[in-house]
Structure 1
Amino acid sequence: MLSPARSLTLHAESGKELPRIDAFEPLYNIGCRPRHGEVVMIAGRSGTQKSGLALFWAAQMNLPTLYFSADMSAFTASSRLASMMTGDTTTMVEAGMAAGGRYREEYLAALAHLNITFSFGSPITWKAVDEELEAYVELWDAYPAVMVFDNLMDFDSAESDYTEQMAVMSGLTELSRATGATVIVLHHASDKSWEAKSDPWAPPSRDQVKGGLSEKPELSLSVALDPTSMEFRIAVIKQRMGACDPTAKRYATLRCQPEYTRFAKPEPRISPLPPAAPRQWSPLDALKQ
């Protein structure tokens, strides 16, 4: 049992902000404050770069991370990271790894500094989570600072069972509190709603997240990608310690480069100079003639 003062003293450090990323400045500007020790959900429709965003975020923070990837294969995840670090496309990474030699060495060197450990088992089971955590602690003598679960519906028995999905979210919350880690979990939003058909490139509102599970985490982000402009839109649909918009009408806009698994601030738009006004005739003109 802890008094309020004792609880604040013990957990003040765990509640501080996560390292800020330059590319996420528009998101911070709308009041989003991701913190250590929170459960964070990234929700979006199919094909909206949810996995790419989680991978980019984890790599840019470069905190000790344990990444459970049931949605991406081992090659997809590692080639995306190599692409992100080098600026080569994933196709170039694949060709370079096949060619071997210096190309292979360059890609491996680009990944050497990353503090990410992967687990690619599918489906994700609590037994596997326990075993991976035990192995991680045995290796590093500490819990990971960040754990990513890609994604919620890839947990064993949670493909479509709402009760099981709620149990998984409760388990992730308990895991975050027991280890002090930030837990990032990916989840789907409905592709069949009226909004999904009429405005598919807008971030889904909170009520479109499947199972209503976006209400469980401390922070829930709704994402969407416009494939015509490559604008990546992020709305804060739930934030326990800050502003949010459940309708997702207010969102931050990033620039997405899927072929490099990169995100960036949008480039400032420079308005063209207005045409010069026609010069007025002056009596001095007559003197010049």
Structure 2
Amino acid sequence: MHAESGKELPRVEAFEALYAMGCRPRHGEVVMIAGRSGTQKSGFALYWTAQMGLPTLYFSADMSAFTASSRLASMMTGDTTEMVEAGMGAGGRHRMEYLNALSGLPFTFSFGSPITWHAVDEEVEAWVELWDNYPAVFVFDNLMDFEGAESDYTEQMAVMSGLTELARATGATVIVLHHASDKSWEAKSDPWAPPSRDQIKGGLSEKPELSLSVALDPNSHEYRVAVVKQRMGACDPTGKRYASMRCHPEVTRFSKLERLAPVTPPAQPWSPTAILQKQGV
């Protein structure tokens, strides 16, 4: 376990811009993904863990079983969630196609709200009984859905300490989702920018080894990810420096953001530039 911890997690092609900024998520770390409401935090975590292909135990209090399975089926097939819902309802060949698409994913879900430590213990014991090892990744969606942690700062700090202990004891990467303030001046003046570290509720972004701040521009579907805390690398607490990628919420996918090069308009035939070009200058 100790030999494997600290190694970099498998890279995801869509996150190339994030890696280029010096972000290095590692095995055995506690990672926080924080953002305002409606910024596809759950979709980002689902896509990331599915693309890494590591055995994952996902605790979801924020998504229902229907939503999670529909998003994963949509991600794997490229069909929209509406198409997945229609196909599952139709049954027969369509249902089998979606079930087969999900069969190879190393995911185990635990649905229930609030998330309790008793439930976590039982799920881990069941996993060890079945596989004789620990999950490589835990995902907790989200921090404020832990029992007693809805608004109690002390309880939220206790949860973060518990998640750190879980990562240390199992060697697994622990990803926890959390909210940023929707009421700050920055949230109102620049809502599509990643929140700065001080906007993450409770100041809890200080605890993980890596804290990512996310935002989604609903007009262009540009997804922005800032590294506001990184213990072993570069970070920007203001969130002003961020990586951009393309979000496809209808299919729960992300891709590299291809920016078009600026086009220089052709010179008019009577302009000095055109005259010089004709003269070979």
TM class, shorter-length: over 0.9
User: Aligned residue pairs: how many?
Assistant: 272
Task: Tell me, in whole angstroms, the C-alpha distance in 2 between the residues paired with 1:28 and 1:137.
Answer: 33
2:240 equivalent to 1:240? no
Alignment of 1:164-175 (within 5 A): 164-175=155-166
- Cα displacement (A) at 1:121: 1.4
The residue aligned with 2:109 is 118
The residue aligned with 2:170 is 179
The residue aligned with 2:119 is 128
- Cα displacement (A) at 1:62: 1.1
Displaced runs of 4 or more, over 2 A: 10-13, 270-274, 276-281
The residue aligned with 2:30 is 39
- Cα displacement (A) at 1:50: 0.3
Task: Tell me, in whole angstroms, the C-alpha distance in 1 between the residues paired with 2:98 and 2:260.
Answer: 35
Give the TM-score of the pair, scaled to structure 2: 0.95
- Cα displacement (A) at 1:110: 0.6
- Cα displacement (A) at 1:269: 1.1
2:98 partner amino acid: Y
The residue aligned with 2:97 is 106
Given that 2:73 and 2:102 are in contact with CA atoms closer than 8 Å, whether structure 1 keeps it comes out as yes
Given that 2:2 and 2:171 are in contact with CA atoms closer than 8 Å, whether structure 1 keeps it comes out as no
1:166 partner amino acid: M
Q: What SS does the aligned partner of 1:124 have?
A: coil
2:199 equivalent to 1:208? yes
1:241 partner amino acid: M
Task: Tell me, in whole angstroms, the C-alpha distance in 1 between the residues paired with 2:267 and 2:93.
Answer: 56
- Cα displacement (A) at 1:270: 2.9
Task: Tell me, in whole angstroms, the C-alpha distance in 2 between the residues paired with 1:200 and 1:144.
Answer: 36
- Cα displacement (A) at 1:33: 0.2
The residue aligned with 2:46 is 55
Provide the identity percentage: 82
Match of 2:58 among 60, 67, 72: 67
Task: Tell me, in whole angstroms, the C-alpha distance in 1 between the residues paired with 2:275 and 2:75.
Answer: 56
- Cα displacement (A) at 1:118: 0.2
Task: Tell me, in whole angstroms, the C-alpha distance in 1 between the residues paired with 2:261 and 2:211.
Answer: 33
The residue aligned with 1:275 is 266
Task: Tell me, in whole angstroms, the C-alpha distance in 2 between the residues paired with 1:273 and 1:191.
Answer: 41
The residue aligned with 2:244 is 253
The residue aligned with 1:221 is 212
1:64-102 deviations in whole A, cap 9, x for unaligned?
A: 000000000000000000000000000000000000011
The residue aligned with 2:184 is 193
The residue aligned with 1:287 is none
Give the TM-score of the pair, scaled to structure 1: 0.92
Task: Tell me, in whole angstroms, the C-alpha distance in 2 between the residues paired with 1:175 and 1:238.
Answer: 20
- Cα displacement (A) at 1:12: 4.1
1:25 partner amino acid: E
Given that 2:227 and 2:237 are in contact with CA atoms closer than 8 Å, whether structure 1 keeps it comes out as yes
- Cα displacement (A) at 1:188: 0.2
Larger Rg: 1
Q: Which structure 1 segments of 5+ residues have no match? A: 1-9, 282-289
Task: Tell me, in whole angstroms, the C-alpha distance in 1 between the residues paired with 2:23 and 2:5.
Answer: 17
Task: Tell me, in whole angstroms, the C-alpha distance in 2 between the residues paired with 1:90 and 1:56.
Answer: 14
What CA RMSD, in Å, does the superposition of the two structures yield over aligned residues?
A: 1.2
Q: What SS does the aligned partner of 1:260 have?
A: coil
- Cα displacement (A) at 1:277: 5.2
Q: What SS does the aligned partner of 2:259 have?
A: coil
Q: Which structure 2 segments of 5+ residues have no match? A: 277-281
1:14 partner amino acid: S
